Amino acid sequence: MSAWESIRYEVPVPKVARIVLSRPEKRNAQSYHLLYELNEAFDRAAQDDGISVIILAADGPDFSAGHDLKDTRRMQAFEDFDAVGTWCGFGCAGAEGRMAIEAEVYLGLSERWRNIAKPTIAAVQGKCIAGGLMLAWPMDLIVAGETASFRNNTMEMGVAGTELFHEPWELGVRKAKELMFTADYYSAQEARELGMVNHVVPDAELQDFTLALAERISRMQLFALKLAKAAVNSAQDRMGRKDSLQIGFAHHQLSHAHNQELYGYGIDPAFMDRLGYARPASKPEQAQAEQAQAEQANEGDRS
């Protein structure tokens, strides 16, 4: 825990732990190392009987830009940290390995944090995009700075939603469809109107307001807080959340498999091109290149 690279752990007031994403130079994009460090920090707060409330905050202008698509150490994380789930098989070929990885580091960790017994609060500033939603949504309460904005841009990647399919439960069915279909940003104020965000406050007051809210909650009996949280979570799950989560995750994996079959890459390469990311040539591009080489060879033979 003393060697965390991307996470800072604080106890700013008695009974309140604050876990801070501290990768501002990457807009807190989530490497696998960051996610496992975050999980260790949540474990630390959950297992400390002196802590009643956990805040998730972030350094820099943005809460999180999502998954780190340039994470060069991703597979090393499975050597540096213990797995929290039982799928394993992270190095397997094909869809098996990809599904195992995402069941562990995305869906698995997000669900684990959602089910922490103690109350949790996310303090969100700036951009919160795709994978960033998978950090904020598992928290019990969300406080947003007035200029914060949210976005699920997975449709642009040719992928059917985030690995944590929580959009209908956070936004309502109609708005969930619109915001997924369009990949539009929605503001903190709109998120509050939709019921996803509890409070919108001036940016400069975000951390102080969140801390005051956490401190107020921490005065309650911890056992009663745990039981109340468990009851609300159970009610949501009885309404079908867990089943829809599994269906959404399966469709997400089908999207990856479809793109892999078409392009030789798990997401639509057009998205990578727009971002200027280096990527391998897609299958159609490889076929075109091979056809061009064959035509050049035939021209040489005829000459």
Within the chain, where are the H helices?
Answer: 32-47, 77-80, 94-102, 109-114, 133-136, 167-171, 173-182, 188-194, 206-218, 222-238, 241-263, 269-275, 283-302
User: Tell me: the pLDDT tens digits for 18-42?
Assistant: 999 999 999 999 999 999 999 999 9
Where along the chain do its domains lie? 7-243
Residue 1: is its pLDDT beyond 50? no
Q: In what order do the strands lie in the sheet with 16-21?
A: 7-13, 16-21, 53-58, 120-124, 141-145, 199-201
Q: What is the pLDDT of residue 219?
A: 98
pLDDT value, residue 287: 65
pLDDT in tens, 220-243: 999 999 999 999 999 999 999 999
Report yes or no on whether pTM surpasses 0.85.
yes
Q: Measure the CA–CA gap between 286 and 289, rounded to whole angstroms.
A: 5
- Edge-to-edge strand ranges of the sheet holding 127-129: 127-129, 149-151, 185-187
Give me the DSSP letters along 108-126. IHHHHHHT-SS-EEEEE-S
The reported pLDDT for the residue numbered 276 is 75
- pLDDT tens digits, one per residue of 131-174: 999 999 999 999 999 999 999 999 999 999 999 999 999 999 99
Looking at the predicted structure, is the pLDDT value of residue 294 above 90? Answer: no
Question: What is the overall mean pLDDT for the chain?
Answer: 93
Q: Domain 7-243 falls in which CATH fold? A: 2-enoyl-CoA Hydratase; Chain A, domain 1 (3.90.226)
